[in-house]
Structure 1
Amino acid sequence: MRPKLDGILETAVYVDDMDAAHVFYSEILGLKRMVAGERLFAYDAGPAQALLVFHRGHTGEDVATEGGVVPGHDTTGRSHFAFRIPADQLDAWRDYLASRNVAVTSEVTWPAGGTSLYFNDPDGNVLELAAAPLWPNFLT
């Protein structure tokens, strides 16, 4: 029998400018930074959820820690991830992003009825604010 998964704990994004990323993720999106290092910032993205912001090109090698080895990883190009928001906050987010000069690059109304707002971080990664319903397991 397959053991149970308990959700996604971390989502990662890779950036070239760690300082610009920190301003964006902390000051624009309001995420609290939990870890700050040369190659990684970790942000509280919700209950039991972390957004990991890695310094692109500085994470490809394995890293030995007291607890074991963290395998190297890296990406090139733009990545994508989504934050869940309440549907009644779509207008507030549109207004807020505009007030911070963050352009909404696309808005999608999904067949199930949910809405997504897309915008970019300073490195061009594609972020999404998604309001239910969207996926069959994302109803509220």
Structure 2
Amino acid sequence: MHPMPPLQPVPIRGIDHLAFVTDDLPATMDFYTRVLGMQLVHVRRVPFERDRGQPPYDNLRHYFFNMGGDSLLAFFEYPKGLPKQNRDLPGGMQHIAFHVPFDHFDAMIDYVKSCAVNVIGPVSLGGRFWSAYFYDPNGIRLEIATSKAPAELGVVPSVLQTEEEIRAELSTLFDDPKLVDAWIAKMPVMNEPRHKPKHKQQAPA
């Protein structure tokens, strides 16, 4: 394997929690614990505090699930009958992608399907990346993502690209080559394409 380019230190460690809205907390609790294997770890009520940007309802339930990687997934329980958000508008959360090691990818898809959940995939995203898609009871689009890169490599290093790959994409965003060069200079770049690891399973079934 080629030496990894240095990654710039980031003051943010990662996700503390993601907070979403449901109008059916029991169904949400069942889905995330039974289908995705998360554990409910914290339950509380939150008051309405306008100046803090809190939800516009008082004494809401706010429940937290352990989603792995020392990160939490949280839900507020809103009153029933409110309109659904449009995830495809600017500012919307389009989907959540959970990472699953490549060796466990097929088994995870099979298990989700066994819970009577409609799954699209596995889908090749090009190169070493594969995903599968489905929805939770609230209509939130979920993704199970994996990579053929070795598990010990980690999620961030597994998505690094060569300068050629980066330049090809950034050139579609910026007309000025100097801007493209400036952004490439800020990015960790793979010197050569990474060799694909050898797996018994060449692609998810």
TM-score range, shorter chain: 0.7 to 0.9
Contiguous gaps of at least 5 residues in structure 2? 1-9, 45-59, 88-92, 150-154, 160-205
CA shift, 1:102, in A, is: 0.8
Cα offsets for 1:24-65 (capped at 9, x unmatched): 01121111111123421100111320011222469xxxxxxx
> 1:115, 1:131 within 8 Å by CA — same for their partners in 2?
yes
Number of equivalenced pairs: 122
Give the Cα–Cα distance (whole angstroms) in 2 for the partners of residues 76 and 39 of structure 1: 19
Cα 1:82/1:138, change in 2 over 3 Å: farther
Greater displacement, 20-29 / 101-110: 101-110
Equivalence for 1:67: none
Q: 1:41 aligns with which of 42, 60, 63?
A: 63
Give the Cα–Cα distance (whole angstroms) in 2 for the partners of residues 11 and 100 of structure 1: 24
Q: Which has the higher helix share?
A: 2
> 2:40, 2:66 within 8 Å by CA — same for their partners in 1?
yes
The answer to whether residue 109 in structure 2 is matched with residue 94 in structure 1 is yes
Q: Kindly report which structure 2 residues correspond to 1:18-97, keeping only aligned pairs within 5 A, or say none.
A: 18-37=25-44, 38-56=60-78, 76-78=85-87, 79=93, 80-97=95-112
Which structure has the bigger radius of gyration?
2
Amino acid paired to 2:140: N
Contiguous gaps of at least 5 residues in structure 1? 59-74
TM-score scaled by structure 1?
Answer: 0.73
Cα 1:32/1:49, change in 2 over 3 Å: same
Cα offsets for 1:52-106 (capped at 9, x unmatched): 1222469xxxxxxxxxxxxxxxx82454211110111121122111211011035
Equivalence for 2:187: none
SS for the counterpart of 1:39 is: strand
CA shift, 1:7, in A, is: 1.4
Root-mean-square deviation (Å): 2.8
Q: Kindly, what percent of the aligned residue pairs are identical?
A: 31
Amino acid paired to 2:85: T
TM-score scaled by structure 2?
Answer: 0.52
